[in-house]
Amino acid sequence: MTGRKKQVTVLVVDDDQVHRYMLCSMLGEWGYRVVEADDGITAVTAVENHSYDAVLMDIRMARMDGREAFTRIQAIAPALPVILMTAYSTVESAVETIQQGAHDYLTKPLDFDRLRLALERAVDHHQVVSKKHQLEKGKTELETRIIGSSPPMAELLEMISYVAPTEATVLIHGESGTGKELVAEALHVNSERKNNPFVKVNCAALAEGLLESELFGHEKGAFTGAEKRREGKFVQADGGTLFLDEIGETSQAMQVKLLRVLQEQELQRVGGDETIGVDVRIIAATNRDLEEEVQKNNFRDDLYYRLNVVMIVVPPLRQRGEDIRQLVEHFAGKFAKKNRRNLEKITPECMDLLIRYPWPGNVRELENAIERGVILMRGTSLTERSLPLPIQNQTENNHIVDEQMPVSLFEAEKKLIIKTIEETSGNKSEAARRLGITRKTLLNKLNKYDENNG
């Protein structure tokens, strides 16, 4: 149990004394501070006089039912999340109340895992909303290495400023190369955990057995080559933030193990029996549509809902074209200094090509293109001649975007990738290098084209 929950107060409202006692005992065991109310009128009075982080309330009560009590509570504290409990016969009433702004509803008999998750999501949501109101009253400067001032980036940065100071678990979604790791870093450095570790794990880079050891650690002799005990990333991140990149690539078996740690905030090393408590904020990232993966039974729904307390979507570069000039200038200066090149200017023709290119590999592809350009430039100017061939050739091949509108960016990107593969005689590794993206990203995009053709 983290220290955070010991400070969280939940108002439990139920006129059934036995049921209310059972709920209060269970929430107390989970680390919540619990206040009781035996009907809707008492609950409304309690909210008028005290602050709570969440309300758990039955709908059917003799003196003022849950729907009327919710309406009055909403008028007093609009941001206070209310979770309704209802029998199947009153589900319709609960859904109506949800439409009016209630946070969630649970059917009786209660599923306690679902109750626990609903409470955690409600409390985290309340923290985010409360922090948003505080920041709107007196905004502080956001510390970040993210570059861009376009409307999509302004929205992203605002979202980070609201979410970062909270303890909410965050799921970052975005295409490959959009900068999801920078978003995770910004969430950490602007949180109260900023002086503690920020630990990164690429879930796609390790086989399942190695990933388990990497995350949870292992005991000496747990497997061949385990010559000494090793602490995992969860323990290394204790008190700080653990960034699980490419979470969508984990196996079902690993998802079960991750879910347990997230639920219990404790783990066991591979090959060990000792239970180790950890206090870690989880930030996960993926370029997959996890909701779709859940529907396909490739990703556990319970893990998805636990990760997706707050989702932050990172816009692709093609949706933030206004930022390209600023990014180009930043990367050009960075790589000129790194490679000891005397860069005096970027020619207008070069900048024009960079701005018009669709950037299937997003910011990472742009960074790679500028690094290559600076290294290969002749003289003191960055010109189109030192850019990767797909960017140079777009004057011949990509004017279709301008001359034969409407053509989607998806189709323009597809044409460019297919042409590059043809130019490399089907060598996908070479094609990926020329495009400035990874081979894995290229294969993912080709699979996507096959699905659309299907």
Q: What is the pLDDT of residues 91-150, one digit of tens each?
A: 666 667 677 778 888 888 888 888 988 898 888 877 777 766 666 554 556 889 999 988
Residue whose structure tokens are 């609009």: 78
Terminal Cα distance for the chain, rounded: 48
Query: Left if phi > 0, otherwise alpha if psi is -120 to 50, otherwise beta: which for 141?
Result: beta
Q: What is the pLDDT of residues 217-233, one digit of tens each?
A: 999 998 888 889 999 99
Q: Show Cβ contacts of residue 197 under 8 Å, excluding neighbours closer than 6 positions.
A: 236, 237, 238, 239, 240, 241
Q: How confident is the model at residue 87 (pLDDT cuts 50, 70, 90)?
A: confident
Strand partners, 34: 10
In this prediction, residue 90 carries a pLDDT of 59
Residue 282 CB burial class (10 angstroms; 0-12, 13-18, ≥19) = buried
C-alpha 267/C-alpha 411 separation (Å) is 47
User: What is this structure's pTM?
Assistant: 0.68
Q: Show Cβ contacts of residue 332 under 8 Å, excluding neighbours closer than 6 positions.
A: 343, 346, 370, 373, 374, 382
All domains of the chain in start order, with CATH: 5-134 (3.40.50.2300), 151-315 (3.40.50.300), 318-453 (1.10.8.60)
